[in-house]
Amino acid sequence: MPQAMHLLRWPLPALLSWGAAWASFMGLMASGLALGPAMVASALVGAGLALLHQARWRRLIVALGFPLSMLVVLRSAALPAWGWLLPLGLLALAYPRRTWSDAPWFPTPRGALAALGELAPLPVNSAILDVGCGLGDGLRELHQVYPHAHIEGIEWSRLLARLAAWRCPWAKIQRGDMWTQDWARFALVYVFQRPETMDRVWVKACREMRPTAYLVSLDFEIGGQIPLATLPLSRGHSLWLYRPQALAPDSC
């Protein structure tokens, strides 16, 4: 059973869902159904399978898989076979297999961190870390709030790390593993991960961060822990502010 559960780890469920939608489409076309109704019915199959996933971003990815791939097929019938390798290669560079167990790339919305200046005041020249910084949207928001801080980012994807460094020349960007990096010297660590990794984030923060340091999470709370503050944001987002050592020394 544990081995079977390992085999069903993301993104395999998404691939299976997309395959089911395409199998439905081909079966309907073979039965004589017109193209339009077959596409709609298969898109509904994909949308139904998307509801089996708990995370919103996974639902979105699964639901859009068949319609987007069908759109590509319809608009690129003349594309040579090797042309399909180009987007796949870019995807592999931007989102390597190692990152699938962490969060996918979703940018930090503009203004999402604007309240941190009051909720988590920091001395000048404090060190701040954006964990999994992607293209640097979170870095930019942190720079707006803490213009005099030393802001750093870590990102596993080499391509995204280089693009973030280009977009945020005032930040120090490291290509590396967020789980092996030491968070001890940072006054604030910002994460935009996913629910499944938040317990691991909490354990690492408790083990390494100073008692005065802040852990900030966008959208995902840490189960069983009481935040210093919770701030509802627009478009269904929320901000969670913790002080791991001060709040939960026994949980480290």
Indicate the number of domains in the chain.
2
Say whether both 138 and 244 belong to one domain: yes
Kindly indicate the confidence band of residue 58, based on its pLDDT and cuts at 50, 70 and 90.
confident
Say whether both 74 and 122 belong to one domain: no
Say whether both 64 and 181 belong to one domain: no
Q: How does strand 238-242 pair with strand 229-232? A: antiparallel
Say whether both 13 and 66 belong to one domain: yes
Kindly indicate the confidence band of residue 208, based on its pLDDT and cuts at 50, 70 and 90.
very high
Predicted confidence (pLDDT) per residue in 109-128, tens digit: 889 999 999 999 999 999 99
Greatest mean pLDDT among 15-29, 74-88, 181-195 lies in 181-195
Greater confidence (23 vs 106) lies with 23
Predicted confidence (pLDDT) per residue in 160-207, tens digit: 888 899 999 999 999 999 999 999 999 999 999 878 889 999 999 999
Predicted confidence (pLDDT) per residue in 132-153, tens digit: 898 899 999 999 999 999 999 9
Predicted confidence (pLDDT) per residue in 221-234, tens digit: 998 899 999 998 88
Say whether both 228 and 129 belong to one domain: yes
Is the pTM here over 0.75, yes or no?
A: no
Say whether both 121 and 245 belong to one domain: yes
Say whether both 135 and 246 belong to one domain: yes
Mean pLDDT of the residues in the chain: 81
Say whether both 64 and 139 belong to one domain: no
- Domain boundary at 53, 78, 103, which? 78
Residue 208, domain CATH: 3.40.50.150
Kindly indicate the confidence band of residue 71, based on its pLDDT and cuts at 50, 70 and 90.
confident
Q: Which domain holds residue 198?
A: 116-251
Cα distance between residue 1 and residue 158, in whole Å: 35
Provide the 10 A C-beta neighbour count for residue 204.
23
Give domain status of residue 111, yes or no.
no
Contact of 228 with 243, CB cutoff 8 Å? yes
Contact of 45 with 21, CB cutoff 8 Å? yes
Give domain status of residue 98, yes or no.
no
Contact of 108 with 137, CB cutoff 8 Å? yes
Rg over alpha carbons for the chain, rounded to the nearest Å, is: 21
Say whether both 161 and 43 belong to one domain: no
Helix or strand (DSSP H, E) at 15:
helix 12-30
Give domain status of residue 40, yes or no.
yes
Give domain status of residue 84, yes or no.
no
